[in-house]
Amino acid sequence: MPTTTDKLSIKKAIAERLTADGWSTKADTELDYARFVVEKEYDTAVGKKTAVIALEPRSEGFQLVGEYQSEGSNILSTTWFTIAKDLSIEEICAGAVKFAAQVDAEVDQSYARRLYLRYDAPAEVS
């Protein structure tokens, strides 16, 4: 089973990397005690909605999991990134970036987000 020190150093590395890509963290103390790592707000047809990425211990290491509620369920329940015990911090951060891109893609397919992207998103200026 992974140690608390491993968990904290992995969470901090992932949070630092993903905040560079538009995700946000809470206070550093949240990283110490909660499974929370980062969150991101998305504009949707029903207002802003938040996705959360969390780190959970597993027997084989850790797993990044996501949560985004849409139409009464977590649409990220089948989306995760397993962090094996032998991965380096660089490999973990690269995997976290791919996982976050997958989260964006899944969220963009949610009903309220699709409506927003189709009808409400501001037009790009050329």
Q: Per residue in 74-116, pLDDT tens?
A: 999 999 999 998 999 999 999 999 999 999 999 999 999 999 9
pLDDT digits (tens, 9 = 90+) for 6-52: 888 898 899 999 998 899 987 665 555 567 889 999 999 999 999 99
**Residue 115 class from Cβ within 10 Å (0-12 exposed, 13-18 middle, 19+ buried)?**
middle
Q: Is the pTM of this model over 0.75?
A: yes
